[in-house]
């Protein structure tokens, strides 16, 4: 199980390769970008747990990358650690003012950098900002976004649940289930990148609950692609025997043999025009009731 996804933004290929190999060996999933725009694109599509960001880049400086990440709804929560040769106090202050979470100066101790990465991921999880399995916004960030849209009408909330997840967990275990959660997180970010906008929001609301807030005009296309791709691609997580039989056969905790279909998604689409909503709890309660009684794409 990965300890987290790290994006290293560094145009020195020797340094970036060294960091990728090191963090991979430490149990992280390490991604590399050599240009600022590449880093911005990967943050939107790959949702790293933390960004290690060099200030000196060929197309834009790290300060600009940091500012753009902080101004994007889908990336503003990602912890940023600046990595630079500069050690002037003014440079450190500028980085922190831009929204960086930490700062380390070259030449650096790689063990110290690892500890700073661990600390950044731990703080984000402890403060209930991101889900540790998917890196998606959770808890407080979801509440904050729902508060921001509560009084508006120009949105559609897709409330997404995974059905038959318990049966999968019985035969494959919790580690394989985390792989499925990461798969759906990737699926959601790729779908929003294709059909949505930078103002769309993706969140991991609970163990098997996800939310997408998008524009009403795009909601149908987003919903259909999510449900279709999930149904087509989730089968790879099952053992060959289950795929061959087209179902899951397992023994429950009481020793009873049971059958279950493969996992699928259940989606409710709540329109902002259904308001006004008294508070964010009403939004989630109405969405949950819609998913229970009338699931489907808008």
Residue that the structure tokens 């939004």 belong to = 283
Residue 264 and residue 149 share a domain = yes
pLDDT at 92 (0 to 100): 73
Residue 179 and residue 101 share a domain = no
Q: Which own/partner contact pairs does 153-156 have at CB distance under 8 Å and 24+ positions apart?
A: 153/271, 153/272, 153/273, 153/275, 154/215, 154/216, 154/272, 155/213, 155/214, 155/215, 155/216, 155/271, 155/272, 156/213, 156/214, 156/215, 156/216, 156/219, 156/269, 156/270, 156/271, 156/272, 156/298
Residue 173 and residue 145 share a domain = yes
**Domains: count for the chain:** 2
Residue 172 and residue 117 share a domain = no
Per-residue pLDDT of 94-112, as tens digits, reads 777 888 888 888 888 999 9
Give the domain CATH number at 249: 3.30.70.270
Residue 118 and residue 143 share a domain = no
Domain range for 41 = 5-126
Residue 247 and residue 269 share a domain = yes
pLDDT at 87 (0 to 100): 64
How far is 39 from 119, CA to CA, in rounded Å?
Answer: 22
pLDDT at 86 (0 to 100): 64
Q: Which of 103, 126, 149 is the C-terminal boundary of a domain?
A: 126
Examine residue 30 and state whether it is found in any structural domain, yes or no: yes
Which is it for strands 156-163 and 201-204: parallel, antiparallel or unpaired?
unpaired
Q: Sheet of 80-84: strands edge to edge?
A: 29-33, 5-9, 50-54, 80-84, 102-105
Q: Which residues contact 32 (CB under 8 A, 6 or more apart)?
A: 7, 8, 9, 10, 16, 17, 19, 20
Q: Which of 56, 91, 126 is the C-terminal boundary of a domain?
A: 126
Examine residue 173 and state whether it is found in any structural domain, yes or no: yes
Examine residue 245 and state whether it is found in any structural domain, yes or no: yes
Give the domain CATH number at 82: 3.40.50.2300
Q: Which residues in the chain come in under a pLDDT of 70?
A: 1, 86-89, 128
155 and 270 Cβ atoms separated by less than 8 Å = no
How far is 219 from 240, CA to CA, in rounded Å?
Answer: 34
Examine residue 75 and state whether it is found in any structural domain, yes or no: yes
pLDDT at 38 (0 to 100): 97
Residue 263 and residue 146 share a domain = yes
Q: Which of 99, 126, 153 is the C-terminal boundary of a domain?
A: 126
């Amino acid at each position: 199980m990965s300890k987290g996804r790290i994006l290293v933004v560094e145009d020195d290929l020797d340094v970036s390769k060294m960091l990728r190999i090191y963090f991979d060996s430490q149990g992280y999933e390490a991604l590399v970008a050599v240009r600022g725009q590449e880093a911005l694109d990967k943050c939107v599509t790959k949702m790293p747990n933390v960004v290690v960001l060099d200030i000196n880049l060929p197309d834009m400086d790290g300060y600009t990358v940091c500012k753009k990440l902080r101004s994007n709804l889908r990336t503003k929560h990602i912890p940023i650690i600046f990595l630079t040769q500069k050690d002037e106090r003014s440079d450190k202050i500028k980085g922190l003012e831009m929204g960086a979470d930490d700062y380390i100066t070259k030449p650096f101790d790689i063990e110290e950098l690892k500890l700073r990465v661990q600390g950044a991921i731990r703080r984000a999880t402890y403060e209930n900002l991101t889900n540790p399995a998917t890196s998606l916004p959770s808890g407080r960030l979801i509440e904050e976004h729902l508060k921001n849209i509560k009084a508006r009408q120009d949105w559609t909330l897709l409330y997404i649940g995974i059905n038959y997840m318990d049966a999968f967990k019985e035969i494959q275990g919790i580690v394989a289930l985390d792989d499925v959660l990461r798969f759906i997180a990737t699926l959601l970010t790729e779908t929003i990148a294709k059909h949505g906008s930078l103002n769309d929001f993706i969140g991991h609301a609970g163990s098997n609950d996800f939310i997408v807030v998008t524009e009403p005009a795009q909601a149908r296309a987003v919903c259909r692609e999510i449900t279709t791709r999930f149904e087509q691609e989730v089968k790879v997580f099952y053992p060959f025997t289950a795929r061959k039989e087209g179902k899951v056969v397992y023994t429950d905790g009481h020793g009873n043999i049971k059958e279950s279909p493969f996992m699928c998604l259940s989606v409710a689409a709540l329109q902002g025009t259904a308001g006004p909503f008294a508070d964010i709890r009403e939004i989630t309660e109405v969405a949950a009731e819609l998913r229970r009684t009338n699931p489907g794409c808008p």
